[in-house]
Amino acid sequence: MRRIVLSAVFVLRLAAAADRTRLLRAIGLMTVGYLATPVIALGLREFTDAALARRLEVATWVIAGVAVLLVLELMLGHFAHLSYFEVGELAETTLNEELVRHVNGSPGMERLDDPDFADNVNLVREELGNTRTAVESVLQLGGLALQTGLTTVVLVTLDPWLALLPLAALPSVLVGRWAQNLLESAKEASAENTRRTRHLLALATAPASIKEIRLFHAEAALLREQDANWSRTSAVLRRAHLRAAALRAAGQLVFALAYGGAITLVLWQAEQGRAGVGDVILVITLAVQVSVQVAGAATLLTGLQGVGRTLDRLTSLRDHGSREGGPREDGRVTPARTAPVPRAVPAALREGIRLENLSFVYPGTGRVVLEDVTLTIPAGGSVALVGENGAGKSTLVKLLCGLYRPTSGRILVDGTDLRDLPAGEWQARVASLFQDFARFELLLRENVGVGDVARMEDEQAVLKAVELSRAGRIVASVPGGLSGLLGHGYGQGTELSTGQWQTLGLARSHMREDPLLLVLDEPAAALDAAAEHAVFERYATLSAETGRRSGGITLFVSHRFSTVRMADMIVVLDQGRVAESGDHRALVTRRGLYAELYELQERIYH
């Protein structure tokens, strides 16, 4: 019950913050409408007694009043709905914004790798729509409480024993809470299977994956896997629903017996001459109302209890967000240490970036991805990361971007530990394009401009980024140019090829002027070798200019050695360690891993 009370208080505060005027209007209208219901029962008693006594004028006036009350009951509820529905939508929007903040509020990505966090996010996302009706539920519960109170007072005037009728609803309410707990536990137990089921469904319907699925004739296999996952999920939920239904039926049976007892009592009193026909009508009407009130309250309390669980999960996400530190060697997250003196991100790099004994383990795993990496990247230079798949290249890039914190060791920026720099300020000086680049189905201007949100509406800045990435042909091919919509997901926009999406990603990376770190993680994987070489030639020129102005470092990952050899320094990673480093000529001469990989690729292409 404490959770329900706390949930009701939270919902009312949320609704009041969203729109206090609409909320108060809805409360006033609902109060009048709910109190009209017991008064209607009193009117029916007076009408019955007046009609039997042939007091037709009184009966006429009474039934007219009852008709007016019935109209008010229906009409006021409708107008109240218009108010609290809008408040509920505003409240849901507020909670959605909070969920987005919890998922994206951390500068790092550790929380996104936590399965418990992912399950909580999935459950909240699925259930957050139900909180829209939470405002309605709280107001209706308040109305039912007033209505039940007035009904109880009227019943007591007939016979004190009838006051027990509303109390007979308590078993139904308590059992309803128990039933809801069963359902919530079942949802939590099946959360992982539910996520997998939705993932498989998305794979089978997303344009990006459906091409391969059809060519490989994998539809049947995916459907079987999806069906197996859903069967496991539905089996757990079905058992929980059956047990919950049985519990609720038992609670309703207790009230049904009390209902029958109340009717029997008043009929016995009528037979003894201690109650009139109007009293019998009154008790029957009020008993029916109490039955409706009990069923309604049980449903609303169940829903509100579900909202309480959602709020608990939001609180869990909120608590998770307070842990912004890096992973320990066991993969668990530790609180970030606080810098003794606030440090500012340098306006320009003078020394560069140094990695000292850097190691990293992804949260929740025991797998060492990087181990004891020591490396110096001079200011204004360009560095290429080379290595086989799984060597740790992309992980190292993410660490330098501040998306993860080292398990041990440190990253020094001009001698200052990256942990001691404000993460948001550092990331604001990083321009990046990753291999798994985003496809923003927005206006073309927004797709590029999101690379520097502050200048998104600056058309000249966007056009300059488009020119630098040589994306002019893409702009010309989209109806509406920069104002044209991309993608088919949210309108009749223009669908682009993978290479075109990647080119727009390159344009986004050009939006930030004078970055201290320019990161390109397989940025041209969707382009042919000649196109990639042209991209990196442009970036080599730009990085040289950036290096002269701000000491900015260009860091890129590529498997094509014709591109890699343009870098000032090449770092070869092997199983999470630095195997060797130097320029192309020195590494080829050394006859190590780099030379082996280079010659292998040279033979393939020739």
Residues 6+ apart with CB under 8 A from 301: 4, 141, 173, 176, 177
Domains and CATH numbers, the chain: 2-321 (1.20.1560.10), 349-429+555-606 (3.40.50.300)
Kindly state the DSSP code that residue 415 receives in the 8-state scheme.
T
Three-state secondary-structure class, residue 581: strand
Q: Kind and range of the H or E element at 35?
A: helix 2-52
How far is Cα 99 from Cα 123, in angstroms, rounded to an integer?
Answer: 11
CA distance 541 to 549: 13
What pLDDT was estimated at residue 578?
Answer: 92
**C-beta of residue 16 within 8 angstroms of C-beta of residue 83:** no
For residue 371, what are its two tokens? 């181990």
Q: What digits encode the pLDDT tens for the residues 229-278?
A: 888 888 888 888 888 888 878 777 777 777 677 667 666 766 666 666 77
What's residue 223's pLDDT? 80
Mean pLDDT in runs of 10 for the chain (606 residues)?
72 80 86 82 78 80 83 78 78 77 69 68 71 77 81 76 70 72 79 79 73 72 82 85 82 72 69 68 74 71 70 71 44 42 82 93 81 91 88 90 90 92 88 83 91 89 89 91 86 84 86 86 64 64 71 84 83 92 90 86 64
CA angle 99–104–109, rounded 5-degree value: 130
* Beta-bridge partner residues of 385: 557, 571
